[in-house]
Chain A
């Protein structure tokens, strides 16, 4: 089948849908656990999801996922049909979640182009024994495997019926079905069902095809034998049987007389107690669906949401960026300088308005609420509080806050890490909490809110808080202290935990501190232009504040000129810009230029030197200094002149430039209104050069 599915879209769709299903499933489980029990709706939902995953995975030949999904499906089939009331919900959740995790891991392998080769047999066995245990606790189901909800009424066809008719021909047919068509017994049943439309004198072997799954094997090995009487001639009957789907082989013989017919029927059906054949009632009206369900008008289920690949959105965003630039190129065209163009200006303003509307709309398309990312944390809180024996509840505030899709992907892992940290290191055990006079259940709060062009996410816990002395001690041991401890504010001390190589917990636990420290969190957040800080009160808890830009694509920038090159500095990094006077310029002992401003000394960075740009302005007093700040580090950038403020579209640097200029403080590039290129400075990178 893999040959058939060489087309990637199929795999993409599989991955997309299965991932979604898994997320939905997880949410369903956690919701159920929270409401302390699985509602019938939840059980149905889980059953349906597992059924879908089973089917899709089998089609893609991911058999390990398929069989695992099958075993969970079986479990929920049982729950759905039997409604046992003595389920250990927490144990049940554990089992499914283990299964869900397995599927996640396999999916991940598939996404990465690896082979999904995990072995689920252990999990399947666990689920099966759980199911068996449930069954033994709820006797009465033991022997019924997937029974019908209600017993079908049956009736017997008397073989003597219609015998009066003399022009009946007797036939015997043996049908073989194709290998691998599955459910041969029901296929056989389907044939009998169709035969009964024209004759009721029909016998078949094996007989109990519906109730006995073992008949599948008999049909496979010996074929499905039918003897019947009908007024059809041989050709007609032959044609009839040949219409059977998945028919591999058909043997049809006409029997000479009714004697032979009886002989056949008797020999074939020796074991039959009655001389009649049992055929389930075919009356479709017996289970007439309620009128509401069958109304042909149906319910309106028009699709309101379509899924679009992110690549297309990225492309669209790119194009909109180009359009913003082109618009500037047209309306600010140097050829127009000095001309009196009233009508043109009017039209240009209209164009401007529409462009910015489009830009806003496209940006809003890319915005995704943080809810999904936040919801994932419930699982972590659940697993951890169980393993660590701490009682923790997670509160979400402002999860509807929206962030650019690309950014969301980058903050999911850091958030997970922070939540783990809070529970592992922050929240105390119930006993300790009680003795401190706190409620026994710890609270971790995830809060998101908009602030200007940033989104702020707070991870707050009401645990023991950070211990200043421990942090200082550890920092000293690891040689991370650059200043005497006495000079540092509390905040500065707390923020030491983000330094690379810092870790206060000596014992690495299962959940946090697997060699990955807070510095990785910081790096992740910084990679999307965000920042992280921590504040804490000993004994009361701590708050970690993550600030991330709403979107990466468009920033407010200040354009500056150096020689013939232009650079863009993100506005939010700029503190001030000024013309230095020569008396304020000093040299430090190493020969670095510094500038005094309001009694403080700041390093100067000459862009023309850093990027080896030729410029006539090399005297500091001829140019301008732009003071920028990043993470409380300040720097003055020396440029020829300021060109003005503008919204710029951030474009990634081409790979070859990126490789060459790595670590040179460039975040990307952008096109300016006149068609020229400007390099966007990465202030975080520059202050650390």
Chain B
């Protein structure tokens, strides 16, 4: 079972993602509310895939992504973004995010994306 780390400051989004993922055979090994927590948990939990929100307090998703990529070049980070964040998303792609999903997304979209990333 693939291990997922969810990073999002909104508990609603975390719950949504967790529900969708667990329904589809993914194992959510951790949830982080901000970039700092994400980095810490990544090092601890070594998840297969990270879903990463961009706008977060303390340390945003881009910074966390950069730190994680520095720590593990093979990290698979999927950005969960919203409309209007094109610049940030591009920066994330440059920094090594595997891909991104735009809110609102459907369960199939999320799962298809992760399936693809997981098999890379």
A contacts, CB < 8 Å to B: 1, 4-5, 7, 9-10, 13-14, 16-18, 47-48, 51-52, 54-56, 58-59, 61, 66, 70, 73-74, 77, 146-148, 178, 180-183, 185-187, 189-190, 193, 210, 213, 243, 245-246, 280, 282, 284, 287-289, 293-299, 301
Contacts and interface: CB of A to CB of B under 8 A. Distances in A.
28 contacts: A1-B106, A10-B12, A10-B16, A17-B10, A18-B12, A55-B13, A55-B82, A58-B82, A59-B103, A70-B84, A181-B102, A183-B81, A183-B86, A183-B100, A186-B90, A243-B116, A245-B99, A245-B117, A246-B109, A246-B112, A284-B69, A284-B96, A294-B63, A294-B70, A296-B43, A296-B71, A298-B37, A299-B36
B1 interface: no
Interface string B56-70: 111100010011011
A301 B94 CA distance: 28
A37 B93 CA distance: 36
Contact of B90 (A52, A74, A210): A210
A13 B18 CA distance: 13
A371 B112 CA distance: 46
Given A296-B40, A296-B43, A55 B100 contact: no
A447 B99 CA distance: 54
Contacts of B113: 245-246
Nearest to B114: A245
B12 A56 contact: yes
Contacts of A17: 10-12
B15 A280 contact: no
B112 to A, nearest CB: 8
The 8 A-B residue pairs whose C-beta atoms are closest, nearest first, are A182-B102, A298-B40, A294-B67, A58-B104, A298-B36, A245-B99, A56-B12, A190-B93
A405 to B, nearest CB: 20
Nearest to A193: B93
A294 B84 CA distance: 26
Given A182-B83, A246-B99, 12 more contacts: A14-B12, A55-B104, A61-B104, A146-B84, A146-B87, A182-B102, A183-B102, A193-B94, A243-B120, A245-B112, A280-B94, A301-B37
Nearest to B66: A289
A148 B87 contact: yes
Nearest to A303: B33
Interface of B: 9-13, 15-16, 19-20, 33-37, 39-40, 43, 55-59, 63, 66-67, 69-71, 81-84, 86-87, 89-91, 93-96, 98-107, 109, 112-113, 116-117, 120
Given A55-B103, A298-B39, A186 B19 contact: no
Contact of B63 (A16, A289, A301): A289
A56 B55 CA distance: 13
Nearest to B15: A13
Nearest to A209: B90
Contacts of B10: 17, 52, 55-56
The B interface is mostly helix, strand or loop, or mixed, namely helix
A147 B86 CA distance: 10
Contacts of B100: 183, 186-187, 190
A4 B36 CA distance: 31
Contacts of B94: 193, 280, 282, 284
A73 B57 CA distance: 16
A189 B84 contact: no
A9 B95 CA distance: 35
A213 B86 contact: yes
Contacts of B93: 186, 189-190, 193
Contacts of A280: 90, 94
Contacts of A297: 40
Contacts of A47: 55
A296 B39 CA distance: 6
Contacts of B12: 10, 13-14, 17-18, 56, 59
A284 B94 CA distance: 7
A56 B13 CA distance: 6
B80 to A, nearest CB: 8
A295 B68 CA distance: 10
B56 to A, nearest CB: 8
Nearest to A299: B36
B93 to A, nearest CB: 4
Contacts of B120: 243
Contact of B83 (A70, A245, A289): A70
Given A59-B103, A246-B109, A284-B95, A51 B40 contact: no
Contacts of A187: 99-100
Contact of A190 (B33, B55, B99, B109): B99
Given A186-B89, A293-B67, A1 B104 contact: yes
Contacts of A299: 36, 58
A185 B87 CA distance: 11
